[in-house]
A = this chain, B = another copy of it.
């Protein structure tokens, strides 16, 4: 994904809540905890144990405790974590206290859906501008926003203080678009195009490739099929799939 090296010594803790360099794996899980916490808060819970939160987030409880300990979170032994406080802490660490402006480039099939995805707005982001290179698409209004030509990017980026760029163009157009985003100062890019982006140091790129996810699933499907075909010494026939779920297979692990 993104290559990170954290130079220097972050030891100096001023009056500012020092931003500890969290393990990347922890950072990737914090949003999941946050979502679970919001659910718990909506359900009226004021505190939650690591066990309960871990279950809601689908992780191991020890892992969760270690993750939270990394950001110096305050739980209470014998009680658990204060839900509201923990939400505040995680949102602060993730930088969600300010609503970041997102520019979406490429309003095709997928981009159209992303533009209308309300999950962004509800979780701290504001889609501030839509762009496309196709003049036929410029001017179209989606969700209250008018699609602009990608050449307008420099002006709009400055006006709207774009913090994150989302690329939903065809693969061939992705690299030029990324270059343009970088040129106007965007240092975080979410790329849906199936290609590798080359960006200067200091720019973070995360990639989401829907077909890759399916291919990974395909591998496991393939493997499972070849396992049932193999002479598994267990003996019990795994024929009936819907009815009996043979919990005998302890080797199945869903890794992510």
- Measured CB to CB, the residues of A under 8 A from B are 2, 4, 7-9, 12, 15-19, 21-22, 24, 27-28, 30-32, 34-36, 56-58, 93-98, 100, 102, 109-110, 112-114, 116-120, 122-125, 161, 163-164, 166, 182-185, 187-190, 194-196, 200-227, 232-233, 236, 238-239, 241-242, 244-250, 252, 254-256
A106 → chain B closest CB, angstroms: 12
Contact B221–A8 (Cβ < 8 Å)? no
Q: Check A245/B200 contact, CB under 8 A, given A124-B215, A190-B214, A254-B205.
A: yes
A92 to B16, CA, bound (A): 51
- Are A185 and B241 also in contact (CB < 8 A) when A27-B216, A196-B58, A219-B94 are? yes
A190 to B220, CA, bound (A): 12
Among A2, A30, A31, A217, chain B packs the most CB atoms within 10 A around the CB of A217
Instruction: List B contacts of A122 (CB < 8 A).
Output: 211
Instruction: Considering the complex, give the chain B residue whose CB is closest to the CB of A120.
Output: B211
Q: Which of B8, B119, B207, B241 contacts A210 (CB 8 A)?
A: B119
